[in-house]
Amino acid sequence: MSVFALVAAVFALAGGSGAAPAAVHRAASVPEPRIVQKPIPFPARRVREMKAYAERHYGIDSPYLAHPHVIVEHFTESTTFSSAWNTFADDVPDVELHELPQTCAHFVIDTDGTIYQLVPLRLMCRHTVGLNWTAIGIENVGMSDAEILGRPRQLAAMLKLTRWLRCRYDIPVGDVIGHNESLTSPYHHERVAALRTQTHDDFNRADMNVVRRKLGALGLCSAG
């Protein structure tokens, strides 16, 4: 199925009804890691902004993440969880593209390995241009790929969370990508011409190959 057909399918599933679609996932066969709930404010106004964003960028008349096909790894370019949380919580136009709603990620992993969930998985989050319609976003507190890869507790938490999510939504290891790989994803779709080549530097292919090898070494989803 082409990405355009997938976008159309999501539109048919979630568009226009005003209600969240039923979650499309299977029971995860690997243990859920410990996740601390630390939600950012996501009131009705921000949901409406997310819906308008999805319509502009993807042609989807819905703010809901009906069926994620991709997991995107990021680093925050900050040194503390609180600074990342405060940025995502403040619903003002983002500093890079000047759009609403503010950027966000579904999860943020702190330097000590604590996993925080900021946004429900039923909602889209603005973390990767061209993929927000179908991607779960994971931010890791740090200033570079190397920092995260060099912190055993943070890296272990990232792998546990990513494995649980990909098994829950039946996402292949190959569709666990770094933000820097976004343009090569078969699910990349962007209606705004000026943004069709927009991406970031975090988690390049070489570093994500390390992450994907480690994910693969953890075994199949059925392995427990």
Collapse the DSSP code of 4 into the 3-class scheme (helix H, G, I; strand E, B; otherwise coil) and give the result. helix
- From start to end of the chain, where are the E strands? 35-37, 70-75, 107-109, 115-117, 135-140, 176-178
CB 85 within 8 A of CB 40: yes
Q: What distance in Å separates the CA atoms of residue 40 and residue 101, rounded to the nearest whole number? A: 12
- At 20 the pLDDT is 65
User: Strands 35-37 and 135-140, how do they pair?
Assistant: unpaired
SS3 at position 59 = coil
Place of tokens 């790989």: 181
The per-residue pLDDT for range 6-37, each reduced to its tens digit, is 655 554 544 454 556 655 566 557 999 999 99
Mean pLDDT of 105-116: 98
- When the pLDDT of each residue in the chain is averaged and rounded to a whole number, the result is 91
Residue 223 · residue 167 · CB < 8 Å: no
Beta bridge partners of 75: 140
For the segment 31-53, the average pLDDT, to the nearest whole number, is 98
Could you tell me if 61 and 21 are in contact, meaning their C-beta atoms sit under 8 angstroms apart?
Answer: no
Whether the predicted pLDDT of 170 surpasses 70: yes
CA distance 154 to 142: 10
CA 161, CA 155: separation in Å to the nearest integer? Answer: 10
Assess contact for 164 and 32: CB atoms under 8 A. yes
**Complete domains list, the chain, with CATH:** 3-223 (3.40.80.10)
